[in-house]
Structure 1
């Protein structure tokens, strides 16, 4: 069956209307090296042959490495129940719950997810999730710009570099001033703040895994009438001071650590929570609980600020979307773990990371970079380029961490090591022994 919907005559009329003589002429601005070399597709295969071919291609990926990589995305364990519940038809096939009367299950799940995120972050209200952590960060920045009517965003250099690139990409055509500085010390923040600052953007634990109490930072920013945006690891929030406790206006982050597999980079979800005062400025949607005329509990969308729902000029965003399936997965994970389970899991991550750091610093040529508390990630300094060390360790079947020189040119020898609950004492031992051997 031909899936091309237009006849030759229709294509000819369209080409004539736009003023070109042929399809080839239409695409002549594309450099020859970027054009397809050939449309000679392979002959059709049976299901078995396709499956075998794809499995062979998948096996080319290094999927059997012992993983100590982090840098914003982590190799956590996802209980089997998460996947089992997500694959139920009522969740797996559900779309945007526009019709509340036939979407009660989806709406309740979103409502429960929002409640869990609000409690975890210490904020008043959460929206129904975002694309991912980076777009949630951008949306938070735009919230601050709209609310304060200021144009300067003060960004800490210990914010995830991927998010910093995304912020610059999304705001490239806007008249905003993005200033990056090391804001870990309050005196440095005080120097950088001015009356044009719309928001101060911070991360805790930061990109290097360090845990900070940002309460004074938040107070300084608010004294300058700037908003405070905090990016946080939701698992770390089980044991650290929450954005709400520290005085943040908006809390955002990546929800992948809440039961979602790495999956070669997605799909994930971004969480976003704020204060009651700023609730109506949230992008996306909020599911709410109410009662019907018979007094029965029901759920509905109580806030919808996307341009699909309201007048375009009133919309808070035209890119945000609720990652419902991923949000339900995160909710299932948090429900399975429970309050104490989240605390126990976070402490296990911290304990294993502390043990790994002790083992690695016992290597004579390895140096400590940071003192003070950290979550499940830390920096060490190697006597050689970290990228070279990583390459040699990959050959040993271990991904030892993230070479920071990729994002921080002044740290070519620094390695960022992440340790989750999945890493065993034996695997940490292999990491230490293997790294000592290659050094």
Structure 2
């Protein structure tokens, strides 16, 4: 009897087999169905030999896979190098207390974090209601008419607001005025966004805002409320002066302060932006956090980002859905005004539920306590002989002192970080976590450094005056809807969160076979470090010596991604794929300028490209020239060559997705890169489909100059219902020095580069706190596991395509009829014959317990399927069986057995309410509606609403909390 080796025993807990769904035996059966003897032989047939990677992924320390326990232990070593102090730095980021019921039941709950963007509203009603709560919360607190479903962060929200004002305003000026007390990182992001659009940023002292409004021709102004140094100013006269001249106003506001301060909408702001982080979302070294943007009702159709509205379903019942221009960049493409195709849904849900949990009275109490503590500290400092530079305040004090170094040292010794302001001043920003004892400790520190006897909190309280004018106090009500006044008992809150989660379909219930979106396993061990205090409780502007472990982990992840892509350098600052695209194009522009070729502004983009590609090109003021695709969906190289030659003198870039948007490895990719390079352009390879490349081919090796990656796709960060995401930008060696800096925080990529582009996100490392997810995934998989994942993803896609091809035409394929990691089913011939559309099939899949594949992208009338490597053969077969069963239902329509209008597909999805109602008017049975396959009788997901009426929703947009009738 053979003896198992020690090495085999040690590898028995390897993570690879837990991430990759099909076992070796199942993979053999799938390969047999395709007619290939091995996975390697299949990949050889799919991937063009000229780009096939020959080397093993050079992952260094992480080349070999690790068990979950071993990877967690290694990451814990890095986390242990961070120092968790209480940061009273402010500058847009605050300590906060995440209620335990929210932490456990949303943040740590796969029902919430593995859900996809709610493009299929019938199976997304829970998170749509939660986002609606967020919108209502923001609208109420800001005093505006309407708010969107969240933004990436405060800095990018301000940049979107700037371009919004330019679009909707009447002024012809290109000047945008910015107060000098706007958060410095926001000003930096604004400058980056403004430069390619020829918008002039002019700054002014906030104390001179009225004068600036009266004397400067501008299209808009940005004001911070309260200011970065803590001042709370009355800007009503300034706003009136701007409006009189045809200009508009953005207010960047603090949500907790708005519980006590007059809302910007009440003093005339046209747009209000900010960050909801301090509503229960951990600091996380800068992200992810849900920014927000609220505006006037008349601007709602120009508002960037997503918006949840109310409609009715097929039975006339209320339903929620994404409304208006939710994917503007896919509709308007190069004419789009924004490339945003995401939101920070998971974080917006947490922030909204923080407001639901506390209610208006609870929030006001928190705000009043923070304000009172700040007033006590202000009085203590005054009596100790310190001077403040801000006359008014809510939670932030800026103190003039000749002892800044000594104060910082004493504060750190006591466990506090204060804000580094200048050589002779510093800042202190209080938050909801400050205790009376900690307040006393702060007073003791300032007294000690001043050489004076300390003062007691209790003795100061009675004389501590409010920090702002009574005219700026909030008197208006907010959060009056029952949602914010009902769930304060934890039992009630727990059940509310469970009721919402039960309405949704996420990866914890079934596979989500979305093409181009890569919904794969988000392993629990990958998620665990996100809540470690060493990662979650670090301020983005904490001293560098306190973030050594974070930075080591970030550098290691950058190296891992370089190994996977074949590029020389990576920046993790972009906090969404759209931001990564935008950064990549800015880098290309900076490169051309460095060579004296700043005139290059033509961007070649295939007609099949993601809509974000032309939208991003528009945002950096490049001129888009569309390149045709041939009948097989490949880029027409003759058309590309002709247009590259025509625009040779001005060619800046070509943007191409690889494998193609059609899910095929195009044979001509190297020729495409060669053509573009011959005419002086740079090749941008969209990394949306990296799940078909890692370990198999590398864009940095076959001709790419720059790519963005989607860590929320290929590298396992979960989609979170539509965010968070991370969109790193990876570049070849000649572009490395142009990667984004973050000068307001003192960060330069690789330490010293002066040539880097400006900040593209508010925090230097974007959504830093979720980077451990991708680090864990790569560390646990190793080189062998990552390559196996890619190969298995392609095996699964081809297995699905081959089994479904007798029932639905597969639109595009490469050599031997093979696809890459996704396949497109063409339902247009069936629709012509039966009247059944791809939407009907998508909705019918809900009755079978599945999320629909991607609808009508990249080709109208189709379904694009990406099964990923994480789904077992049993789950793949269950989906295939559902699709075959639906095809049989379509055949019944064609044969006349089912009525062309009254059939299970046209009326899908079927709710429990409809199926169990007293009346059943359909010509097919209730059983056919609800239980089309026998397995559903054992386990059934019921869509909570019938088919949403999109036309009604756009005509009757209601942006508010669930109707009060829901609570009667």
Shorter-chain TM band: 0.7 to 0.9
Q: Secondary structure, in 3 states, of the residue corresponding to 2:168?
A: helix
Superposed CA deviations along residues 31-67 of structure 1, whole A, max 9, x for unmatched, are xxxxx9x93557655443433332232121111x233
Per the alignment, residue 240 of structure 2 pairs with 219
Contact kept? 1:111, 1:289, Cα under 8 Å: no
Q: Secondary structure, in 3 states, of the residue corresponding to 1:232?
A: strand
Superposed CA deviations along residues 72-100 of structure 1, whole A, max 9, x for unmatched, are 10012221122123134432222211112
> Structure 2: how far apart are the matches of 1:6 and 1:293?
46
Question: Offset at 1:368?
Answer: 2.4
Per the alignment, residue 275 of structure 2 pairs with 254
Question: Offset at 1:434?
Answer: 2.6
Among candidates 98, 104, 117, match of residue 78 of structure 1: 98
> Structure 2: how far apart are the matches of 1:427 and 1:43?
46
Query: TM-score scaled to structure 2, two decimals?
Result: 0.40
Per the alignment, residue 379 of structure 1 pairs with 398
Contact kept? 2:130, 2:353, Cα under 8 Å: no
Among candidates 336, 339, 344, match of residue 323 of structure 1: 344
Once the two structures are superposed, the pairs formed by residues 248-397 of structure 1 within 5 Å of their partners are: 248-319=269-340, 321-364=342-385, 366-371=386-391, 373-384=392-403, 386-387=404-405, 389-397=407-415
Q: Does 1:233 align with 2:274?
A: no
Question: Offset at 1:287?
Answer: 0.9
> Structure 2: how far apart are the matches of 1:358 and 1:322?
42
Among candidates 191, 205, 222, match of residue 182 of structure 1: 205
> Structure 2: how far apart are the matches of 1:150 and 1:354?
42
Once the two structures are superposed, the pairs formed by residues 111-260 of structure 1 within 5 Å of their partners are: 111-148=132-169, 149-194=172-217, 197-260=218-281
Query: TM-score scaled to structure 1, two decimals?
Result: 0.85
> Structure 2: how far apart are the matches of 1:283 and 1:388?
46
> Structure 2: how far apart are the matches of 1:397 and 1:358?
22
Superposed CA deviations along residues 170-197 of structure 1, whole A, max 9, x for unmatched, are 2221211110111333442235421xx1
Contact kept? 2:153, 2:275, Cα under 8 Å: yes
> Structure 2: how far apart are the matches of 1:331 and 1:10?
46
> Structure 1: how far apart are the matches of 2:125 and 2:119?
11
Per the alignment, residue 419 of structure 2 pairs with 402
> Structure 1: how far apart are the matches of 2:111 and 2:69?
30
Contact kept? 1:283, 1:320, Cα under 8 Å: no
Q: Secondary structure, in 3 states, of the residue corresponding to 1:404?
A: strand
Q: Does 1:415 align with 2:426?
A: yes
Q: Which moved more, 1:334-343 or 1:180-189?
A: 180-189
> Structure 2: how far apart are the matches of 1:236 and 1:202?
15
Question: Offset at 1:314?
Answer: 4.4
> Structure 1: how far apart are the matches of 2:276 and 2:49?
49
- Larger strand proportion of the pair: 1
Superposed CA deviations along residues 184-232 of structure 1, whole A, max 9, x for unmatched, are 33442235421xx111110111111121221111111101100110000
Contact kept? 2:174, 2:199, Cα under 8 Å: yes
Query: CA RMSD, aligned part only?
Result: 2.7
> Structure 2: how far apart are the matches of 1:333 and 1:325?
12
> Structure 1: how far apart are the matches of 2:271 and 2:192?
21
Q: Which has the larger radius of gyration?
A: 2
> Structure 2: how far apart are the matches of 1:317 and 1:328?
23
> Structure 2: how far apart are the matches of 1:347 and 1:323?
28
Question: Offset at 1:300?
Answer: 1.4
Contact kept? 1:353, 1:420, Cα under 8 Å: no
Among candidates 123, 128, 136, match of residue 102 of structure 1: 123
Q: Secondary structure, in 3 states, of the residue corresponding to 1:70?
A: coil
Per the alignment, residue 823 of structure 2 pairs with none
Contact kept? 2:406, 2:449, Cα under 8 Å: no
Distance 1:54 1:41, change over 3 A: closer
> Structure 2: how far apart are the matches of 1:247 and 1:353?
28
> Structure 2: how far apart are the matches of 1:88 and 1:50?
22
Q: Secondary structure, in 3 states, of the residue corresponding to 2:132?
A: helix
> Structure 2: how far apart are the matches of 1:176 and 1:76?
36
Q: Which moved more, 1:46-55 or 1:198-207?
A: 46-55
Contact kept? 1:117, 1:126, Cα under 8 Å: yes
Superposed CA deviations along residues 350-399 of structure 1, whole A, max 9, x for unmatched, are 001111222233334x322222x311111111113x35532453234222
> Structure 2: how far apart are the matches of 1:227 and 1:380?
33
Q: Secondary structure, in 3 states, of the residue corresponding to 2:331?
A: coil
Q: How many residues align?
A: 407
